[in-house]
Structure 1
Amino acid sequence: MSVNLIVIQPLVALIAGILILIMPRLLNIIVALYLIFIGVVGLFGDRIAPYLH
């Protein structure tokens, strides 16, 4: 099974949104983790991508 970075980002956003709806107190933590994830993928996505195929 091949995982593409273009598929991972919306999936992470969807999971984060559902968690925020279920547990609003986690909003700060979820947003911080999401931003860190997007930043790491943006900076190192080309280095991570070969391992995801």
Structure 2
Amino acid sequence: MVITAAHVPAIVALIAGILILVMPRLLNFIVAIYLIFIGLVGMGLLRWLHM
């Protein structure tokens, strides 16, 4: 399976959801990282990852 830019948000959301279920205190940290990552992907700053 080839991971494309369309798959990245779904994979990150799945991992974040599982971590939140296991450790609810991580919610703020996970949401902050998710939002930063999605913002960087949206602005094209992670183009070096070939996404």
- Structure 1 regions of 5+ residues with no counterpart? none
- Hey, what does 2:47 align to over in structure 1? 48
Write the deviation string for residues 4-52 of structure 1: whole angstroms up to 9, x where unpaired. Answer: 010111000000000000000000000000000000000016x617724
Runs of 4+ in 1 over 3 A off after TM superposition: none
Whether the 8 Å contact between 1:20 and 1:26 is mirrored in structure 2 is yes
Highest RCO, 1 vs 2 (Cα 8 Å, sep ≥ 6): 1
Aligned length: 51
**Secondary structure at the counterpart of residue 21 of structure 1:** helix
Instruction: Tell me how far apart the structure 1 counterparts of residues 26 and 15 of structure 2 sit (CA, whole Å).
Output: 13
Query: So what's the TM-score if we normalise by structure 2?
Result: 0.84
- Hey, what does 1:36 align to over in structure 2? 36
- Identity fraction in percent: 55
- The aligned runs of 1:8-47 (5 Å cut-off) are 8-44=8-44
- Structure 2 regions of 5+ residues with no counterpart? none
